[in-house]
A and B are shown apart, each in its own frame.
Chain A
C-alpha cells in the first residue's frame, strides 16, 4: 500500500512569490494535515482538511492557505513568501473510521525562500 506522497521534493522561490505544495493521502484516508518544520521552531500544526473542508488551522497568517480536492488530495499555498517561510513542510493523513487520531506522514517538501 502506498504511503503519503508529496510533491515537489524541493522548491526554491524568491521572496514575495507564491509556492504551491501538493499531497496525496494514503488510499482510504479522508483527512489531510499540514505541518511546518522550521529550523529552531520545531514541528508546528498548520492546517487540517477533512471531506473537502478546512476543519482547523494553527497559528499562521492567512497567506498560508490550502484546499482539499474530491479525491482527498490537498494543496498548500503560501503567498507573499518571506525568508522565514523556509522550512520542511510535512503532510500527514488519517482515517476517520473509529475517530482514530493516528497520522501518517509523507516525506515532506523542502521550501527554500531566497
Chain B
C-alpha cells in the first residue's frame, strides 16, 4: 500500500534562510510524487511533480525537490524563504491514480516564516 510521511508537523524559519520540508514515501511501484501548498482558507496549489524523468525537480516560486529512491525520500527545499511562503505544505503520492483516481496525502507541514 502507498503511504507518505511528513516528518515535521511544523517548521519555523527566518526570512531569507533556507527551507527544508521532509517527506518519506512508501510505494510498491515507481511512484508519482507531488508537493502541494495550501495558503490559509485557500485550495491546494501544485508546487512540483516527480514522474521519473529527472530526480531533481524544479517547481514554482523557487522550490525544488529531490527524489532519492535509496532513501525513499522526496524532500522539498528552497534556498531563501519569503514571508509569502508561510502556508501548509503537503507531500503526496500517487499509485497510478490514472487507474484509481486517488492521491494519498501526508499530514502536512506548517511552514512559519519569521521576519
Q: For the complex formed, measure the closest distance between the CB of B61 and the CB atoms of chain A, giving whole angstroms.
A: 16
A4 CA to B11 CA in the complex, in Å?
30
A-B contact count (CB 8 A): 55
Instruction: Give the secondary structure class of A's interface.
Output: strand
Q: Are A43 and B42 in contact (CB under 8 A)?
A: no
Name B100's closest neighbour in chain A (CB-CB). A56
Binds A, one of B17-25, B68-76, B102-110: B102-110
A86 at the interface (CB under 8 A from B): no
Q: For the complex formed, measure the closest distance between the CB of A5 and the CB atoms of chain B, giving whole angstroms.
A: 10
Query: Known interface pairs A42-B107, A101-B32, A102-B34. Does A107 touch B102 (Cβ–Cβ under 8 Å)?
Result: no
Question: Contacts A42-B108, A55-B101, A56-B101 given; 10 further ones with Cβ under 8 A?
Answer: A6-B43, A42-B105, A48-B101, A56-B102, A99-B98, A100-B98, A101-B96, A101-B103, A105-B44, A107-B43
* Residues of B near any A CB (own CB < 8 A): 32, 34, 36, 42-46, 49, 90, 94, 96-98, 100-108
Contacts of B36 in A (CB 8 A): 105
* Residues of A near any B CB (own CB < 8 A): 4, 6, 31, 33, 35, 42-45, 48, 50, 55-56, 58, 90, 92, 96, 99-108
Rank and list the top 8 A-B pairs by shortest CB-CB distance, nearest first: A48-B101, A105-B44, A99-B98, A101-B97, A43-B105, A107-B43, A45-B102, A105-B43
